């Protein structure tokens, strides 16, 4: 039966593929294809893991202390029985044979199928056996993890084989929630699209999905409950719609749209090396947002003239809470700086907290199980200042990278002048330590992120201390409107067009320019073409966004007369419904400038 699920569109394009359902706790299980010649050895891995778990369980049972509850041996027998049940291991082998999934993936796929069957059981006792089955599978996965590399994406020869493996159906991932750190791992995965039940448009999970440039829908509420393993899905990342088991006619329509958008991308990519200059001759700087040093070459390739935001916290994730040391960070920053060939790289000090946890936790888990209000808690510069040794270590690593290119340092979530002062003190100390150690570094410009209304309101004071500012609209909207950016239940109120938000942005740009300091926007609004003309009208000349968005924003810049737009700015800012006014202006001014607009051949 075909049906649709609605969510929030977070990453453009259309993906068509078979659903792979993944429980959030198992999202970090390696997903890769093996080739035909590896099927038997993969089944061998599964068999060895099963035997090892059987030994573990038998030993546990044998060594149970006298005082252990009487039910325990019976429970271990149930686990042993489940372990040897053909519906688990037999069917898992089938996933390996038929689909060429690696053993861990095959096992979690089969668990999803069985978990559904348990959920539907009438009998309470039987339904509760699902937890036992999950424990058995967790044991198997743990045993397999011990026997293989911890990062199969990097080192597995099987992955290489997977990359070359043809003839498989494309796959899309369906999960209740995916933590940003897990999403990051998918940079190197086989999935061509994502759907999650929870999440907002600018949650970090959505941001990473966008940076992968893979169609994604979040906040689709019940998706992971009603979609079944292996269903065919269309993910419409432009409209936020997921079509389950589409009819042939709908499928054809979407395949056509897929081809159209591929053509459009190819057409836009020809703008890569064209300078971004408005119709009235204003030069605009289009920079890239990156999460890892490995993203830098892609940024250059997309035509970025520098990195406007390196979210350094992603280096701190996926490591079981252990922090990267100074040398490791230095190598990562240096790699990014060297990849950019002399273009500026703006490294933001770590922004841990809120929906970006050091542990593998989704925003949902954080909200419900850990901190009451993580977005208002110990995050970003607050966290860094509460960990002075860690902070100085990061500052030293960033400073050392400045010996290899143009580095700028950016401080997230500044709200108090005291935070700025403490940051500069820490920086002085870090420089002193480097001098004493004889390590070279250059002077770096230091900027503040404007992402809390308080920062926008005390901007003149901040501008006296900092060399530049960067507006983080994602958080500025969240904190101005009191809307958790990761909460799909209030996503309809998360409104970048709210007059209060637009006025804060406009005021920040105007004050920074008046003070002769550079200002850029690095939140999602910078990469959203709906705002390009308006931001240009406000005087913005530096935009930082996902590399994949650069070409389309550049096309807008090339077609905009910034002076004409500036004359209309108050009309938008003073309106009760700025979006309506802006859209009307876009239509009107586009028809004036259309004949001279630069066409992409
Ligand atoms: C922002 O808040 O707009 C921003 C760029 O930072 P992040 O999305 O990482 O919070
Ligand atoms: Mg932010």
The span from the CA of 590 to the CA of 271, in Å, is 20
Separation between Cα atoms, residue 317 and residue 43, nearest integer Å: 32
Which residues lie near ion ligand 2 (Cβ < 5 Å)? 451, 472, 475
Residue 327 pLDDT greater than 60, yes or no = yes
Q: What is the per-residue pLDDT for 27?
A: 61
> Does the beta carbon of 475 lie inside 6 Å of ligand 1?
yes
Q: Report pLDDT for 321.
A: 67
Half-sphere exposure of 40 (CA within 13 A, CB side): 1
Lowest mean pLDDT, pick from 30-39, 164-173, 453-462: 164-173
Give the CA radius of gyration of the chain: 26
More confident residue, 198 or 183: 198
Please give the backbone phi and psi of residue 557, each rounded to the nearest 5 degrees, phi first.
-60, -45
The pLDDT of residue 488 is 84
Q: What is the mean pLDDT of residues 580-594?
A: 79
Q: What is the average pLDDT value for the chain, to the nearest integer?
A: 88
| Residue of 353, 519, 522, 528 best suited for mutating to test ligand 1, as the one with most atoms within 8 Å of CB | 522
Q: DSSP code of 374? A: G
Q: Which residues of 143-175 are buried (b: 16+ CB within 10 A; e: fewer)?
A: bbbeebeeebbeebebbebbeebeeeeebbbbb
Taking residues 183-187, what's their average pLDDT?
A: 70
Q: Ligand 1 pocket check: which of 376, 475, 545 to mutate, most ligand atoms within 8 Å of Cβ? A: 475
pLDDT of residue 69: 66
Q: What is the percent of the chain with per-residue pLDDT over 90, rounded to a whole number? A: 62
CA dist list (Å): 392 to 123, 174, 434: 58, 40, 11
Q: Does 472 sit in the ligand 1 pocket, CB within 6 Å?
A: yes
For residues 121, 125, 128, 134, the Cα torsion angle rounded to the nearest 10 degrees is: -90
Instruction: Determine if ligand 1 sits within 6 Å of the CB of residue 451.
Output: yes
Residue minimizing CA distance to atom 9 of ligand 1: 311
> What pLDDT is attached to residue 48?
93
pLDDT, greater one: 148 or 451: 451
Residue 84 catalytic? no
Query: Residue 148 above 80 pLDDT?
Result: no
Q: Which has the higher per-residue pLDDT, 72 or 284?
A: 284
* Nearest-CA residue for atom 6 of ligand 1: 472
Q: What pLDDT sits at residue 28?
A: 64
Cα four-point dihedral sign 390, 394, 399, 401: positive
Q: Which residue has the higher pLDDT, 484 or 160?
A: 484
The residue whose CA is least distant from atom 4 of ligand 1 is 472
Query: Of all atoms in ligand 1, which is nearest to the CA of residue 351?
Result: 9
pLDDT higher than threshold 80 for residue 365: no
Mark whether 204 is an active-site residue: yes
CA distance 480 to 494: 10
- Ligand 1 proximity of 291 Cβ (cutoff 6 Å): no
Tell me the average pLDDT across 562-575: 96
Give the Cα separation of 274 and 115 in Å (integer).
Answer: 53
Across residues 180-194, what is the average pLDDT? 75
DSSP 406-469: -EEEEETT---HHHHHHHHHHHHHHHHHHHHHT------EEEEEE-SHHHHHTHHHHHHH-SEE
More confident site: 513 or 268: 513
Q: Looking at the predicted structure, is the pLDDT value of residue 184 above 80? A: no
pLDDT band at 320 (very low <50, low <70, confident <90, very high): low
Is the shortest distance between the CB of 374 and ligand 1 below 6 Å?
Answer: no
Tell me, what's the pLDDT at 413?
A: 97
The predicted-structure confidence for 419-471, as pLDDT tens digits, reads as follows 999 999 999 999 999 999 999 999 999 999 999 999 999 999 999 999 999 99
Structure confidence at residue 275 as a pLDDT band (50, 70, 90):
very high
Q: Is 351 in the pocket of ligand 1 (CB under 6 A)?
A: yes
Backbone angles phi, psi at 190, to 5 degrees: -95, 0
Ligand nearest, relative to CA of residue 311? 1
Instruction: pLDDT band for 595, please (50, 70, 90 cuts).
Output: very low
Does the structure show a pLDDT above 90 at 472? yes
User: Is the predicted pLDDT of residue 369 greater than 70, yes or no?
Assistant: no
> In testing the pocket of ligand 1, which one of 349, 376, 451 has its CB within 8 Å of the most ligand atoms?
451
Check pocket membership of 496 for ligand 1, CB cut-off 6 A: no
Query: Which whole number is the average pLDDT over 16-29?
Result: 76
Q: What is the pLDDT of residue 571?
A: 96
Question: Looking at residue 292, what is its pLDDT?
Answer: 93
Give the pLDDT of residue 364: 57
| Residue whose pair of structure tokens reads 């073409």 in the numeric block | 529
Ligand 1: does its nearest atom lie under 6 Å from the Cβ of 546? no
Catalytic residue among 522, 529, 546, 582: 522
Spatial separation of the C-alpha atoms in residues 434 and 60, rounded to whole Å: 54
3-state helix, strand, coil in the chain (%, to 5): 55, 15, 30
How high is the pLDDT of residue 525? 97
């Amino acid at each position: 039966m075909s049906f649709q699920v609605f969510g929030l569109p977070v990453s453009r394009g259309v993906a068509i593929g078979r659903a792979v359902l993944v429980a959030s706790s198992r999202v970090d299980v390696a997903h890769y294809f093996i080739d035909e010649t590896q099927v038997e050895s993969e089944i061998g891995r599964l068999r060895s893991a099963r035997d090892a778990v059987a030994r573990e369980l038998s030993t546990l049972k044998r060594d149970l202390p006298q005082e252990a509850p009487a039910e325990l041996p019976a429970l271990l027998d149930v686990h042993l029985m489940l372990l040897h049940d053909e519906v688990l291991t037999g069917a898992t082998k089938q996933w390996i044979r038929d689909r060429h999934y690696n053993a861990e993936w095959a096992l979690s796929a089969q668990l999803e199928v069985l978990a559904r069957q348990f959920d539907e059981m009438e009998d309470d006792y039987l339904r509760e056996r699902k937890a036992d089955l999950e424990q058995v599978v967790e044991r198997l996965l743990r045993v397999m993890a011990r026997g293989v590399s911890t990062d199969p994406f990097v080192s597995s020869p099987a992955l290489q084989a997977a990359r070359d493996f043809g003839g498989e159906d494309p796959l899309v991932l369906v999960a209740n929630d995916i933590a940003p750190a897990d999403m990051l791992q998918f940079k190197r995965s086989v999935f061509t699209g994502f759907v999650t039940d929870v999440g907002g448009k600018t949650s970090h999970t959505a941001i990473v999905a966008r940076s992968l440039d893979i169609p994604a829908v979040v906040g689709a509420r019940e998706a992971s409950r009603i979609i079944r393993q292996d269903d065919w899905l269309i993910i419409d990342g432009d409209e936020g719609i997921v079509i389950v088991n589409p009819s042939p006619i709908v499928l054809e329509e979407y395949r056509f749209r897929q081809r159209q958008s591929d053509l459009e991308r190819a057409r836009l990519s020809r703008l890569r090396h064209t300078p971004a200059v408005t119709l009235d001759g204003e030069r605009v700087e289009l920079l890239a947002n990156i999460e890892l040093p490995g993203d830098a070459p892609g940024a250059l390739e997309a035509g970025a003239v520098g990195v406007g935001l390196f979210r350094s916290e992603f280096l701190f994730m996926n490591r079981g809470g252990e922090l990267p040391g100074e040398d490791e960070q230095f190598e990562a920053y240096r790699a990014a700086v060297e990849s950019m060939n002399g273009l500026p790289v703006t490294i933001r000090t770590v922004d841990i907290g809120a929906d970006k946890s050091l542990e593998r936790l989704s925003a949902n888990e954080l909200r419900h199980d850990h901190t009451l209000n993580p977005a208002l808690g110990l995050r970003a510069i607050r966290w860094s200042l509460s960990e002075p040794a860690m902070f100085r270590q990061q500052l030293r690593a960033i400073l050392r990278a400045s010996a290899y290119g143009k580095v700028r340092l950016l401080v997230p979530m500044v709200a108090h002048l005291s935070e700025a002062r403490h940051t500069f003190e820490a920086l002085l100390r870090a420089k002193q330590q480097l001098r004493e150690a004889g390590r070279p570094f250059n002077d770096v410009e230091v900027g503040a992120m404007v992402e809390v209304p308080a920062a926008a309101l005390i901007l003149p004071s901040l501008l006296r201390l900092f060399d530049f500012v960067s507006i983080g609209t994602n958080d500025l909207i969240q904190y101005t409107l009191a809307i958790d950016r990761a909460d799909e239940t209030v996503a309809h109120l998360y409104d970048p067009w709210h007059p209060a938000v637009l006025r804060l942005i406009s005021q920040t740009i105007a004050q920074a320019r008046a003070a002769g300091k550079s200002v850029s926007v690095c939140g999602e609004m910078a990469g959203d073409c709906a705002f390009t003309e308006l931001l240009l009208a406000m005087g913005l000349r530096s935009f930082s966004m996902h590399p994949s968005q650069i070409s389309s924003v550049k096309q807008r810049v090339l077609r905009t007369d910034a002076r004409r737009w500036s004359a209309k700015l108050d009309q938008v800012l003073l309106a009760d419904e700025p979006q309506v006014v802006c859209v009307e202006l876009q239509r009107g001014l586009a028809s004036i400038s259309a004949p001279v607009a630069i066409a992409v051949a």
